[in-house]
Structure 1
Amino acid sequence: MAHTHTHDNIDWPTRLAALRRADDLDAESNRHVADRLVRLLGATAAPVVVDIGSGGGGMSAAFAGALAAHGGGRVVLSDAVVELLDAATTHVRAVADGTPVVVESVQADASSDNLADQLPQADLVWASRVVHHLPDQQKAIDGLARMLAPGGWLALSEGGLATRCLPWDLGIGEPGLGNRLTAARDRWFVGMRAEMPGTRSLPVGWNKALEAAGLSGVCSFSYVVDHPAPASEEVRQSVVDWMAWVAKVGEDLLSESDRATVARLVDPHDDAYVGGRDDVFILGASTVYLGQNAR
């Protein structure tokens, strides 16, 4: 099957299972964030929430729950990758079934010049870790801002603190593997953006980018994602997902020794399989930047 082109050339359909596992693991955090953002909409009747780059659908499901508690509304999922969009929409519709929440989906490229014409005017636009995958990040944010109804909010989840999930010494390989995996991922990301056609740098913080898009009341908040040891089976599998993904994209940036170590750690048939350890964990923080269309 041919997959939809993405600017980053990542084969996102192969990531669907890992995205869904991460959504399930972080469902409580997602609910808190969705409730907080929907409260910003005040007495708005049947508000429209658009989830840009909806991925596995975890946040759209959280918004569906928050809107149901609000009295109803509309959740619109949007993604460039049809396989992800179809699976996420099916999931969110199941969550919203029997509630006064309408669930729709629109396949669209978040960097499109006419994105605001493809999607409904929104009271809240949510975009999580999608803008940094687009060539011109400021242009993309400008386009998201144009989607807002008067008084509507743009919530951009970008940055925070890098995830940590491994003990310093795993008993095989050189200690400090987690730090080297994170460094390799960061170097891969720089290279990925450099190779992206039409890429432009964004040499300011996300709050400044929202201000440049003409939004008012720009602010931010952060929240901790903490799944401590001893790890549940779900946490262990998510750690395996993370290691396998980072090792894949950063393969050429890791030493031969580290590649061999990771191969053992993600192999369920190896005695060193990290998915069999209860001393792994997930600890990180995400930041949400907010700006309002004050017109």
Structure 2
Amino acid sequence: MTHTSPHAAHDSAHHRLPQHDSDDDGQAEILDLDAEVLAEHTASITAWLPLDQAPRHIVDLGCGTGTGTFALLARFPAAEVTAVDASARHLRRLAERAEALGVADRVRTVPADLDAGWPELGEPELVWASASMHHMADPDRALRAVHDLLAPGGLFAVVELADFPRFLPTDAPKERPGIEERCHAAMAHRDAEHVSHRGADWGPKLAAAGFTVEGKRTLTVNVDGSRSAAVGRYALSSLKRLRAGAAHALTAEDLGALDQLLDTESPHSILRRSDLAVRTERTVWAARRA
């Protein structure tokens, strides 16, 4: 099982496979906000996938609370999705939403820590893994497992973040400009030991596992806060988790300024800012099993 990172809930797509239940509620909130704010971008990825025909069976690896699952169900209305995650709480949340949306008969949830072993998942025509492959203890072995899982001619979609989302302008807050970047720098140094495959070029790895890479696409994400009220809540939840992970490396002045941003009663609260945006990049590789 890999280690839980304070950034893990950004892995949307955001979504790592091994989780600890004690941290699931906070992660679930960020995953749901990410899904809401970036729904357009996720839909554009599912529409881009080079499929000869609509899949009937899809596996979503590291599904989290269902960002990919529900986007895929919407894109392929005749398909069924097997949603796999190590977090029982996330899977319950996903199942409850499927029930509420009237698609419960098209969703099967499977609890599994894929570092420990792979359950029976059938023979899907499409496997989707969004921000989950880099958390695998042995990604090359996992890629080979996906290759063997897919139906002949099936497609594997790997979606990864180039970096974690940023929300504040670089000169904010006025008292401590650049505080968000300093938090991310502290976390990058800390996470490098545990998540060494983040930012990898998955093309060569996919080819080595026997896939033919048929397409690669990078999406630049820049969602202005004026477009969605959820951006402020997304920023608040994300920066709370960032503070928890980066506090050890921050000065007292940085911590004070950060706490003012996170205090929803403060006039400096991040929820009162009109200059927020969600800025990140996502890259998707589409790989075919021969």
Question: What TM-score do you get using the length of structure 1 for normalisation?
Answer: 0.84
Indicate whether 1:287 and 2:289 are aligned: no
Q: CA deviation at 1:96?
A: 5.0
Superposition map of 1:244-283 within 5 A = 244-283=240-279
Q: Which of 104, 109, 112 matches 2:108?
A: 104
Cα distance, 1:142–1:52 mapped onto 2, change above 3 Å: same
Q: CA deviation at 1:119?
A: 1.2
SS in structure 2 at match of 1:21: helix
Percent identical: 23
Indicate whether 1:26 and 2:38 are aligned: yes
> For this pair of structures, how many residues does the alignment match?
273
SS in structure 2 at match of 1:151: coil
Superposition map of 1:231-250 within 5 A = 232-250=228-246
Q: CA RMSD in A?
A: 2.3
Greater CA drift, 163-172 or 14-23 = 163-172
SS in structure 1 at match of 2:45: helix
Q: Pick 1 or 2: higher relative contact order, CA cutoff 8 A, min separation 6.
A: 2
- The answer to whether the 8 Å contact 1:41/1:47 transfers is no
User: 2:177 maps to which residue?
Assistant: 175
CA distance in 2, matches of 1:226, 1:87: 28
One-letter amino acid of the structure 1 residue matched with residue 266 of structure 2:
D
Cα distance, 1:179–1:171 mapped onto 2, change above 3 Å: closer
Q: Which of 176, 187, 190 matches 2:189?
A: 187
Indicate whether 1:91 and 2:87 are aligned: no
User: 1:3 maps to which residue?
Assistant: none
- The answer to whether the 8 Å contact 2:60/2:69 transfers is yes
- Can you give the 5+ residue segments of structure 1 that lack an aligned partner in the other structure? 1-5, 195-200
Question: What TM-score do you get using the length of structure 2 for normalisation?
Answer: 0.85
- Can you give the 5+ residue segments of structure 2 that lack an aligned partner in the other structure? 6-22
User: 2:74 maps to which residue?
Assistant: 65
Superposition map of 1:66-145 within 5 A = 66-68=75-77, 72-97=78-103, 102-113=106-117, 115=118, 117-145=119-147
Q: Which of 52, 64, 79 matches 1:42?
A: 52
Q: Deviations over 1:182-237 (max 9, x none)?
A: 2122112113348xxxxxx6996211111111111353111222211446421111
- The answer to whether the 8 Å contact 2:62/2:130 transfers is yes
Q: CA deviation at 1:285?
A: 1.4
One-letter amino acid of the structure 1 residue matched with residue 132 of structure 2:
V
- The answer to whether the 8 Å contact 1:134/1:140 transfers is yes
CA distance in 2, matches of 1:66, 1:137: 28
CA distance in 2, matches of 1:218, 1:111: 27
One-letter amino acid of the structure 2 residue matched with residue 79 of structure 1:
D
